[in-house]
Structure 1
């Protein structure tokens, strides 16, 4: 029985993963490090404590994660100020469905609370979530399960009573290891054999999620 739904944000609710990939690569290359798309894809939703050794393992210890990340954030902020944010298809309909069923919605994101609230506010969705949990609120961010376990705790539910919606491999690993009913809604990465073993279902868009919930709860 699904009693709550926990959403990732970037790449699932907001069409921002393409910006993260683009501007991670630009910021790193400006600093003299030849980051490619595949490197940026691998750090989506990855907590800093795991991203730093991953990137320094590729580019060397001189890779200044904090400085390059700051530049990436600056580039993204400029892009968003000029072009705004786009939501992913089906989010409004899914939230309306959850409201109609009395199923609470929460956020579990690697993005900090200030930017999370700012982004959701910009697209008119801030008031649609009963809880917002960010990686800084737990000891270990994604791909560890802490953030989903804490989000479920905040909802007053066991993780197994929550559906987790994720678009990235690191997010899927986090949610599935927490014991959530995990549904992948791919954005820039399709599930491979490992991810298929972790998910309950794959949805082509958020608009397909109500049918999955109905199947489980019927």
Structure 2
């Protein structure tokens, strides 16, 4: 998997850290607080959207909300900060894997739909902020996932051609973003996206249940 790879780029939530439960809880709390009725396709509709795009989706879908775009984002930030700095942890084997690939001279980055401040404070709380050469967010590019923009931005920051980048992602829209960027993609198992496992396997180049499988060569090669 790592042959001819010069940079590895991680999605954050559900891929690098076990955090999708945070957003499930916050979504429900926010929906209950404002007595919102969400459409059946709510979770699939927002999959891959940037933090800003998701807030805009709420404004467009629920015009009764008494907030601006920035106010919604700030409320979500406050609701999630404590969880991200105290209760969110790296996925199994992730730190060992990252330290090993950096030892081999492979550059590392994050390309996330999440808020930059939240990502930075979470990484600092886990003591791993220094393990990443760059962080790119969906709010800093024109289009969120499945568009390739955030991965292309990460590759640009890492000074690495897309064909020499390997992406780790946990949901189909993210996998598509990596593939649309011309990169190899390893799908990562996560409880939240497990119902989409067949789609993930269809789109990705590799599949892993945890990062130890990469170093001991027990990951799956797809296709």
* Length-normalised TM-score, structure 1: 0.83
Say whether the 8 Å CA contact 1:24–1:69 is kept in structure 2. no
Counting helix residues as a fraction of each chain, which structure ranks higher? 1
Say whether the 8 Å CA contact 1:21–1:41 is kept in structure 2. no
| Structure 2 spans left out of the alignment, 5+ residues | none
Note the C-alpha offset of 1:60. Answer: 4.5
Q: Considering only aligned residues, what root-mean-square deviation do their CA atoms show, in Å?
A: 3.0
Q: State the partner residue of 1:189.
A: 193
Distance 1:106 1:213 in 2: 24
Q: Which moved more, 1:134-143 or 1:44-53?
A: 44-53
1:62 aligns with 2:67: no
Distance 1:30 1:17 in 2: 20
Distance 1:34 1:78 in 2: 27
Distance 2:81 2:51 in 1: 20
Equivalent residues in 2 for 1:66-77, closer than 5 Å: 66=69, 67-77=71-81
1:202 aligned to which of 185, 207, 223 = 207
**Shift in CA distance, 51/212, structure 1 to aligned 2, threshold 3 Å:** farther
How many residues of Structure 1 are paired with residues of Structure 2 in the alignment?
214
Note the C-alpha offset of 1:164. Answer: 0.4
Note the C-alpha offset of 1:192. Answer: 4.8
1:104 aligns with 2:102: no
**Shift in CA distance, 38/202, structure 1 to aligned 2, threshold 3 Å:** farther
Distance 1:215 1:23 in 2: 33
Say whether the 8 Å CA contact 1:52–1:65 is kept in structure 2. no
> SS of 2:80's equivalent?
helix
Note the C-alpha offset of 1:95. Answer: 0.9
Note the C-alpha offset of 1:181. Answer: 0.3
**Shift in CA distance, 208/103, structure 1 to aligned 2, threshold 3 Å:** same
| Structure 1 spans left out of the alignment, 5+ residues | none
2:124 aligned to which of 121, 124, 143 = 121
Equivalent residues in 2 for 1:126-165, closer than 5 Å: 126-165=129-168
Distance 1:78 1:141 in 2: 25
